[in-house]
């Protein structure tokens, strides 16, 4: 456990450095926004494309893994939803809370950290988990909030969801990379070097950006934030582990990767969606802040368990 904690510590130290920079105003909110945009559209996309271009679809796709991650995530999503309904919370806020309970920071934190800690072969399972989060659950929250407001489903909602997926650089980078791999085109050395240099900025840039963005988050509604953090950091990896190891018998290594991915703290894009729809942004903000702080210990514990360290 201690050895894994010491390995994860530099990642969280970078988040802490970013938090200090944002909190001290050394890094302004505008600077944080531009750094996040650089990482999201350029550095992380380059990293994902390069990883995907060196894999085949057969290396990435695993039906059992997809079923296990979907089952575990959907189960925790249902628990969070049920608790909201028992509390008499509106459907819009329920959608935000359920999203906080299951959507982790797989893109900015999981891709760089898990591929370094668990090995480069972890990228396939991590990309699958990321794709499920983006395609299934990020679409679901838009549909639920729209249904709650309009009282009905229409084609314009599906259009918004579809365009959102097509414009997401992570989805685009993974898709283009797998297409490049399928065509069996060697990556020219100068292009490969370019992608390696640009993608190399993803890890420090993403972690620093996470910390800097956390500096603007508030810790209001700590009781709800604590419950949602428990769902994300404890229940989500636990149910994904049960599904992967007991129900669907996923390969042990791949199971370990998606369990570790499920243990990651609440993703920043939940706050972006909450702010965009003006639905409980302070609640999402608090869940991100609390879960990220607690994940320094919980993520290390989960990775230590799945690796037997």
For 148-204, write each residue's pLDDT tens digit: 776 666 666 677 677 777 788 888 898 898 889 888 888 888 998 999 999 999 889
pTM: 0.88
CATH number, residue 210: 1.20.1530.20
Q: How far is the C-alpha of 48 from the C-alpha of 131, rounded, in Å?
A: 12
Low-confidence residues in the chain, pLDDT < 50:
none
Longest dimension (CA), the chain: 58
The structural domain count of the chain equals 1
pLDDT at 56 (0 to 100): 78
Please tell me whether residue 181 adopts helix, strand or coil conformation: helix
- The residue behind tokens 């359920």 is 98
pLDDT at 230: 97
Percent helix / strand / coil, the chain, rounded to 5: 85, 0, 15
Q: Which residues span the domain enclosing 264?
A: 2-307
- pLDDT for residue 181: 86
- A 10 A CB-CB count for 33 gives 13
- Burial class from Cβ neighbours inside 10 Å (0-12, 13-18, 19+) for residue 271 reads buried
Give the pLDDT confidence of 193-235 residue by residue, as tens digits. Answer: 999 999 999 889 988 998 898 887 766 667 899 999 999 999 9
Distances (CA, A) of 199 to 40, 127, 139, 192, 210: 11, 15, 27, 10, 17
């Amino acid at each position: 456990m201690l050895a894994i904690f010491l390995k994860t510590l530099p990642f969280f130290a970078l988040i802490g450095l970013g938090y200090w920079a944002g909190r001290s105003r050394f890094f302004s909110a505008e600077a944080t926004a531009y750094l996040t945009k650089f990482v999201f559209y350029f550095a992380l996309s380059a990293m994902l494309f390069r990883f995907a271009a060196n894999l085949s679809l057969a290396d990435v796709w695993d039906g059992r893994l997809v079923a296990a991650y979907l089952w575990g995530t959907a189960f925790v999503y249902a628990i969070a939803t049920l608790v909201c309904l028992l509390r008499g919370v509106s459907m819009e806020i329920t959608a935000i809370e359920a999203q906080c309970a299951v959507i982790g920071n797989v893109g900015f934190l999981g891709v760089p950290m898990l591929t370094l800690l668990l090995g480069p072969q972890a990228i396939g399972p991590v990309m699958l988990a990321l794709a499920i989060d983006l395609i299934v659950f990020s679409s679901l929250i838009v549909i639920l909030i729209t249904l709650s407001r309009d009282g009905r489903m229409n084609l314009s909602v599906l259009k918004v969801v579809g365009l959102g997926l097509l414009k997401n650089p992570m989805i685009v980078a993974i898709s283009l990379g797998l297409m490049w791999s399928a065509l069996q085109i060697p990556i020219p050395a100068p292009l490969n070097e370019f992608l390696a240099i640009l993608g190399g900025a993803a890890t420090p840039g993403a972690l620093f950006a996470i910390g800097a963005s956390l500096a603007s988050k508030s810790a209001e509604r700590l009781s709800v934030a604590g419950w949602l953090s428990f769902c994300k950091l404890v229940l989500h990896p636990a149910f994904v582990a049960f599904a992967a190891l007991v129900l669907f018998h996923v390969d042990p290594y791949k199971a370990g990767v998606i369990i570790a991915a499920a243990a990651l703290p609440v993703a920043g894009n939940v706050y972006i969606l909450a702010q965009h729809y003006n639905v409980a942004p302070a609640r999402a903000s608090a869940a991100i802040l609390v879960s990220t702080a607690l994940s320094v210990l919980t993520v290390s514990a989960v990775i230590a368990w799945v690796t037997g360290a």
